[in-house]
Amino acid sequence: MSAHAPNEPLLHAAVNGDRDHPVTPRTPETIAAEAAAAVASGAQVVHFHPFDEMGRQTFDAAAVATTIRAVRAACPGIPISVSTAAEIEPDPQQRLALITEWTELPDLVSANQGEAGIGEVCTLLSGRGVGIEAGLLSVSDAAAFVDSGAADRCRRVLVEPTVTDPDAALAQAAAIERVLAEADVDLPQVHHGEGIASWVVNARAIRRGHGIRTGLEDTPVLIDGTQASGNGALVSVAAGLLAELGSSARVHPLP
């Protein structure tokens, strides 16, 4: 498996999700402001979940369009990624119907490969020119992704261990990476974890030549466990990790 190409963005920011944090942005204006802060700190791709007027995550076409336009205005030239997660709409048919109505398209979507109906979502959006970031939250997700043959239509892979114990998260990231390597899936990879574990997953990924993601969706805390002030602070720390560890980054043979 090769390291990232020179033009592959290494630092991604996920600015909200439904994270319980004082500054988690949930309106187009605050999402755009947090995205701009992340970009100012070094983020090269911005990922977010649109919210409706009631403060709920949504696939509603109007809310998606308004939020994408706000972020594009605040972050000109920065690729935008939007969530397609089942947590937003659990019913696969309803999710597909809502996404079909999108009028303002993001550059990218994250697509969790273990979710029911995700193949149809990917087919729809890739057919409309949207790049697919394949989300792998577990080894079983990675195996299903390999078996699906969907790698050829994806822009990159998101390696996303969900456990919060740092050692377990590292083991899970390594296991997901191993599944991809054994199947000769050579897509660029972006790694992140959950909570405090996100930082060790980030560090491992940098040393192995992969991209990383951070932001309030992934972790509300800095490396020392203190609460982050917002996405700008998180991305600034991640940029520092890239500068410190990235010069010697290379992909090692898998054990």
pLDDT, one tens digit per residue, over 205-235 is 999 999 999 999 999 999 999 999 999 999 9
Q: Which residue has the higher pLDDT, 170 or 1?
A: 170
pLDDT at 254 over 60: no
- Compute, in degrees rounded to 10, the torsion defined by CA atoms 54, 55, 59, 60: 30
pLDDT at 9 over 90: no
> What percent of the chain is predicted at pLDDT more than 70?
94
Q: What is the pLDDT of residue 114?
A: 95
DSSP state, residue 131:
E
Q: What is the pLDDT of residue 4?
A: 62
The mean pLDDT value for 55-69 works out to: 98
CA 232 – CA 219 distance, rounded (Å): 13
What single letter denotes the amino acid at residue 159? V
pLDDT at 249 over 70: no
CA 106 – CA 220 distance, rounded (Å): 25
pTM of the model: 0.94
Nearest partner of 10 among 223, 241, 198, judged by Cα: 241
What single letter denotes the amino acid at residue 70? A
Q: What is the pLDDT of residue 7?
A: 77
Backbone angles phi, psi at 227, to 5 degrees: -65, 135
138-152, pLDDT tens digit by residue? 999 999 999 999 999
The mean pLDDT value for 154-167 works out to: 97
The mean pLDDT value for 234-246 works out to: 95
Q: What is the pLDDT of residue 251?
A: 40
pLDDT at 252 over 60: no
CA 103 – CA 121 distance, rounded (Å): 15
Q: What is the pLDDT of residue 6?
A: 65
Whether 211 contacts 245, CB under 8 Å: no
User: Per-residue confidence at 255, pLDDT binned at 50, 70, 90?
Assistant: very low
pLDDT at 1 over 70: no
pLDDT at 175 over 70: yes
The mean pLDDT value for 45-61 works out to: 97
pLDDT at 181 over 90: yes
Residue 121 Cα distances to 31, 106, 149, angstroms: 24, 14, 15
pLDDT at 190 over 70: yes
The mean pLDDT value for 108-122 works out to: 97
